[in-house]
């Protein structure tokens, strides 16, 4: 291992994988675009609560996984093993996708370590398909795989606005709590008992705020509303991912900057003990 993690550290990990995307490629190039936005000099590294990620030695970048060419089960196993190795040190993991297929192995690694894990899933899509043309590890399937294979206390989805009949049946089968955009209120207060994993798909945001995603889905959350969700939920955040940035659709890098903002706000919350 080329990284040196200690308990309480926050480990950044890039996952350059987009071979499980059903529509467009591009998210494999996201991790470095987010790092560039984070360090571009246009903004400092201080989160809104005053936590300065640039001033602490507990915020560590562990680089990218070697999964770019992989498809199917192989990258799923690799991601789970690499995530498990990092969190076994007591560090908390903040992963940068990659398409949303990476969430299944990431959550599996966290569920194995944290009993009674809750998931806060922010997305325009429920990602509960049993399978897709690209197979059972497609980026529309990860939360079906999670609910089949992991011990999960609660899966709460926020931002949903594409629920079809099949996924409604899947949500009912798995007991998923869905806060869809039709019933969204900005003062939503979420409260979890025990550890929480946050999976943040950038297409939860309205395309006006985050155009650099593969699936534009109008009628979504604002950047401010997602930041407020990150700040306000009750529960202990133990790990997170930010997925589905597609740099090919993000010509002036504005969505990468939104992702970098979320790295700061999520990173600050992960650093809280």
Does residue 241 bind Mn ion (CB under 5 A)?
no
If the CB atoms of residues 97 and 253 are measured against Mn ion, the closer one turns out to be 97
**Closest separation in Å from C-beta 132 to Mn ion:** 12
**CA angle centred on 204, ends 202 and 208, rounded to 5°:** 85
Question: What tokens appear for 266 in the block?
Answer: 């999520």
Does 99 sit near Mn ion (CB under 5 A)? no
What gap in Å lies between CA 95 and CA 121, rounded to an integer?
14
CA-based nearest residue to 137, from 17, 243, 16, 20: 20
Residue identified by tokens 């690209």 is: 134
Site string for Mn ion, 40-69 (x = CB under 5 A): ------------------------------
- 122 or 268: whose CB is closer to Mn ion? 122
Q: Which of residues 9, 18, 127, 241 is near Mn ion by CB under 5 A? A: 127
Among 20, 33, 100, 114, binds Mn ion (CB under 5 A): 100
Q: Please tell me the count of residues contacting Mn ion according to CB under 5 A.
A: 7
List the end-to-end C-alpha distance of the chain, in Å, as a whole number.
25
Q: How far is CA 90 from CA 11, 103, 220, in A?
A: 10, 20, 35
Numbers of helices and strands, H then E, in the chain: 7, 8
Is residue 154 at the binding interface for Mn ion, with CB under 5 A as the rule?
A: no
Q: Which of 33, 86, 110, 125 binds Mn ion (CB under 5 A)?
A: 125
Residue ranges in contact with Mn ion by CB under 5 A: 100, 123-125, 127, 201, 203
């Amino acid at each position: 291992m080329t990284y040196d993690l200690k308990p309480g550290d926050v480990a950044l990990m890039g996952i350059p994988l987009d071979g499980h995307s059903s529509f467009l490629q591009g998210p494999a190039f996201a991790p470095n675009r987010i790092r560039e936005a984070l360090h571009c000099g246009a903004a400092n590294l201080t989160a809104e609560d005053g936590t300065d990620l640039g001033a602490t030695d507990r915020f560590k970048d562990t680089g990218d996984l070697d999964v770019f060419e992989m498809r199917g089960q192989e990258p799923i196993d690799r991601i789970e093993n690499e995530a498990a190795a990092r969190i076994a040190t007591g560090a908390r993991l903040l992963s940068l996708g990659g398409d949303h297929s990476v969430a299944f192995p990431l959550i599996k690694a966290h569920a194995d370590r944290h009993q009674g894990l809750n998931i806060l899933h922010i997305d325009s899509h429920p990602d509960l398909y049993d399978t897709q043309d690209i197979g059972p590890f497609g980026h529309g399937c990860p939360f079906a795989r999670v609910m089949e294979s992991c011990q999960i206390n609660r899966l709460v989805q926020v931002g949903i606005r594409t629920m079809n009949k099949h996924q409604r049946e899947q949500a009912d089968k798995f007991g998923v709590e869905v806060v869809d955009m039709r019933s969204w209120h900005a003062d939503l207060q979420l409260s979890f008992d025990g550890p929480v994993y946050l999976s943040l798909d950038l297409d939860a945001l309205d395309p006006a705020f985050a155009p650099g995603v593969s699936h534009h889905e109008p009628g979504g959350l604002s950047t401010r509303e997602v930041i407020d969700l990150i700040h306000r939920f009750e529960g202990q955040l133990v790990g997170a991912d930010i997925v589905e940035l597609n740099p090919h659709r993000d010509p002036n890098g504005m969505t990468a900057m939104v992702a970098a903002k979320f790295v700061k706000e999520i990173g600050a919350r992960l650093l809280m003990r």
